[in-house]
Every structure is written in structure tokens, then in C-alpha cells.
Chain A
Amino acid sequence: MLNLLRLTRSGLFGICALVCLTAGGIASRADASPAAEAFIQTNIQRGLQLLNNTGVSRQQRAEQFRNFLLGLTDLRRIALYTLGPARRTAAQAQQDAFVEAFRDYAFAVYGAEFAKYSGQTLRVTGSVERAPGDELVRTQLIDPDSKGQEPIEVDFRVYGTNGHYSIVDIVVAGLDLAITEQEDFSAFLAQHNNDIRALTANLRQRAERVRSTGRI
């Protein structure tokens, strides 16, 4: 494990604190996609308000933030991507059941993770266009406890045009969430005859366990 452990402090899923930034943080250079950056910037600000709302309990704050973030995310697209090649041989009903289980699992896990939020902020630093309607918005996660260490790069993959955008992937310090999930699920499927029902059942069980124990 020694080589792998040169990972980020917070790990792939530890991006608990998606909060926004101070005004004037957007780069002044010619932006690849000002609209996509503004989408992330504005929603990060809204997210901050939810995470810092002391009128409700910590758990409620986490849940409201989670609902908000996942509402911006195209979970169906991500879920179907994570199935990999197995998707081609799966019936539509099985795919739909899987997407539901994936959504359920994401809600359970991120509700638990965001409850650990402790004052981090996100700063938009720019964007890169991969293709029309396909942008990578670059941000930095600034941790007040980081002791001067460099902030972690958090990139949001954003699809959309004309003011309607959704998040389709997140890359934390070079670690791509969709790719990692897809490789994890592909290995499971390879050991279960590519039967996505087994994967669906596994995700449902995990979601249930998180909900009942409060821990992932």
C-alpha cells in the first residue's frame, strides 16, 4: 500500500465540504466556459448556505446539502456508465432497477459523508472545454486545517448548454469518481457472471446498512 498512500488527505469520497467561494474568485483570463463556471460557482454558494445553516441540526444540514448536490447531478448517466460493457446485455428493467439502487446508495453515502463537513471552501479557478457542451470546471478545495499545504484540485465535469447544466462526474486530485466506480463494479460483475441484478442487490444492501447504522 505504501506507494498508493501518497493520496490526498481526504480520500476520493471525502469531499465533504463543497462550499463556495469569496466573490472575485473567478479567474480574469479568457474563460473556456464562463457559463459552466458560473453554474458551479453559484451552486457552490447555495451549497455553502445549506452547510452553514445553524438553524437545523448537523445531520439535517448534511441531508439538505446532499439533496441539493445530487439534484444537480445526472445520476442516471453516471450509474449507466459504471455498468461498463455489462450494460449492453442487460434488459431495460434491470438497468432501471440498477439506476434506482445506485441513486439510493449515493444518497445514503453522501448524507453520511457530508455530515463531517468542517469549514472547507471551494474556489473556482477556471475551466477547460472538452467538446461543445462538455466542460471541466476546475476548483480548489481549501481546508482551514491544511497548514499551508497546497489545496486539493477538485474538477467538475459539466454537461449542458444554454443555461441548463448538470454535473456528470467529479475528479478529486486526479482521481475520477466515475472511472473508479466503473472499475470497482466491473470487477464485481466479472465474478458474478456479468449479472447486474447481483450488483443491484449489493448496492441496496449497502444503502440499507448505511441508513440503519448511520455509518458507511
Chain B
Amino acid sequence: MRGIRTAACAALTLLLAGCANVEDPSGANDPYESFNRKVFDFNRHVDKAVIKPVAEVYRDGVPEPAREGLHNFFVNIDLPITFANDVLQGEAERGSETFLRFSINSTLGVGGLFDVATRNFHMPFHTEDFGQTLAVWGVQEGPYLVLPIVGPDPPRDAGGQVVDIAFDPLTYINFHGAFWFSAGKAVLEGIDLRSRNLESLDSIERQSIDLYASIRSLYRQNRNNEIRNGKPDVSNLPNL
């Protein structure tokens, strides 16, 4: 799973790096819009046929404590990636928070199953990834891109995900069944994430006229908000 994803991301990033001067009639930095829309429609079909039903069964069939535990486990096991990127962005305080959170939840939280850091210590939570780090370093997002299944993933973010593999300690731990563990983790993380957003995505879908354009807008705004670590960007507010 990781190897295939790595190769795909790397190939796409290289391909797009070579396509610098493409026309962009919509002005939305989406020169591959017709391709993206096709992939987007494909993703919607797959979501409707497979991912959403599975997520609903998961939500309705698995007891909440079990789902919470699994979610906490995944979040915890990915914290080293956040820590590495906190450090690369020069965020000492956020890095310390991440380190402390990982330590507390891995020990008191029994291997990450319990989010003791939030529930008992009310510690703030954040995630970082190399795509955000690149943005902090001044790299532009690149043309909008929608990937199969993954969804919106412009070159900077896709390339960032490749680098994050190197920051994930699990990459370096060889154990029997490591491949299947990674594959299973990716699938379960996807189902968990989908199940936690069933209502919000339904709401966006119902209220959008052009769902593709709405998602493009929301993806970018959300990403920029993450890059700013939640601080409002007052100078870039729209002129109403």
C-alpha cells in the first residue's frame, strides 16, 4: 500500500512540475478541471457505492467506545509525523505539546487507546504534515488536483505525504505482517474518518449547487486555516 502510494504521488508530482504553463480559464488555479471533475465524479460513485455504506455500518454497528478507542489509537500513532513537522516549522511550543501528548496517551492512555491528554489534561490538539511545512517554507500549493479515492490532493500536499512516510516510525519497523498492518490501518483510518463526517458532508452536498467547486473551495480554505494554525487571516478577508 505504501509503496504504491509513494510511487503514484511521486509520479504525479513530477508530471505536474513539468506542466507549468497550462491555461486556466476559470481563474481558480484549476487548469486540470475537466480531468479533476471526472475523478471527482468517480470518487462520488465509489463513495456512494462502497465507502459511505461501510462507514454507516461501522458507525451503527460498532459501539462508540470501540470506535473512539480505534480513532485515538490512529491519532496517537501518527503523532510522530506531527512532531517532526512542528520541529521543521520551528514551532517549539507546539512540538512540546505533541511530544507530551504522545507520551501521556501512549502510557497512561494504554498504547493510545484513551485520549487522556484531552479528557483529563485538556491539552490542545493539532496535527501537522509536510505539506503544511512546505507551505510555511513558502511553497505554493500548485494547481488543484483530485486523486482517485484520496480526493483533493494538490502537488504540494501530495508530495508532502510522500515525505511524511519517512517521518513515520512504522515505516522502519519490520515485523511479520507489516504490509497488511499498514494496509489495514489505511483502510480503517479511511472508514473512521468517513464515519465521523457523514452528516457534515451530507449537509455540504445538499446545500451546494456545484459540489465540485464547493469542495475545492472548502479544501483550500481548510488547508490554509491549518497552515495558519487556526489564526484568522484578517488581511485576506473578502471585500463585501
A contacts, CB < 8 Å to B: 1-14, 74, 77-78, 81, 109, 128, 130, 136, 138, 147-150, 153, 155, 157, 159, 168-169, 171, 173-176, 178-180, 182-188, 190-191, 199, 202, 206, 215-216
Closest Cβ of chain B: how far from A208's Cβ, in Å? 14
Nearest chain B CB to A33's CB is how many angstroms away?
A: 12
Q: Is B200's beta carbon under 8 Å from chain A?
A: yes
Residues of B within 8 A of A (CB): 26, 28, 43, 47, 115, 118-119, 122, 124-125, 127, 149-153, 157, 190, 193-194, 196-197, 199-201, 203-204, 206-210, 212-219, 221-226, 228, 230, 232, 234-235, 237-238, 240
Q: Is the CB of B222 within 8 A of A6?
A: yes
Q: Given contacts A11-B203, A155-B232, A180-B218, is CB(A1)–CB(B210) below 8 Å?
A: no
Whether B47 lies near A1 (C-beta < 8 A) is yes
Query: Within the assembled complex, what's the spacing in Å between the Cα atoms of A74 and B221?
Result: 23
Give the A-B pair count, Cβ closer than 8 A.
156
The listed residue (A169, A180, A184) touching B237 by CB distance below 8 A is: A169
Nearest-CB residue, chain B, relative to A134 = B237
Whether A148 pairs with B197 at a CB distance below 8 angstroms is no
List 11 A–B pairs whose Cβ atoms lie within 8 Å, in order of A's numbering: A4-B215, A11-B197, A11-B203, A109-B207, A130-B234, A180-B214, A184-B213, A188-B210, A191-B210, A199-B209, A215-B206
**Which B residues are in CB contact (< 8 Å) with A173?**
222, 225, 230
Q: Given A183-B213, A187-B210, check contact A216 B218 (CB 8 Å).
A: no
4 pairs of A and B residues whose beta carbons are closest in the complex: A174-B225, A11-B200, A187-B213, A183-B217
B221 touches A174 (CB 8 A): yes
Given A180-B214, A180-B217, A187-B210: 15 more A-B contacts, CB < 8 Å = A4-B215, A6-B226, A8-B200, A81-B240, A109-B207, A159-B240, A169-B240, A173-B230, A174-B221, A174-B222, A175-B221, A176-B221, A179-B221, A186-B26, A188-B209
In the complex, A14→B218 CA distance in Å? 14
Query: Which residues of the other chain, A, contact B196 by a CB distance below 8 angstroms?
Result: 5, 9
- The dominant DSSP class at the B interface is helix
Residue of A nearest to B129 (CB): A3
* CB proximity of B123 to chain A, nearest CB, Å: 10
**Chain B proximity of A182: nearest CB distance (Å):** 7
Q: How far, in whole Å, are A174 and B232 apart by their CA atoms in the complex? A: 7
- Nearest CB in chain A: distance from B70 CB, A: 15
Whether A136 pairs with B201 at a CB distance below 8 angstroms is: no
CA distance A190 to B37 in the complex (A): 14
Which of B47, B115, B212, B213 is within 8 Å of A186, CB to CB? B213
Residues of A within 8 A of B219 (CB): 3-4
With a cutoff of 8 Å between Cβ atoms, the chain B residues found around residue A11 in the complex are: 197, 199-201, 203-204
Residue of A nearest to B154 (CB): A3
* Chain B nearest Cβ from A7, distance in angstroms: 6
How far is it, in angstroms, between the C-alpha of A209 and the C-alpha of B91 when the chains are bound?
49
Residues of B within 8 A of A199 (CB): 209
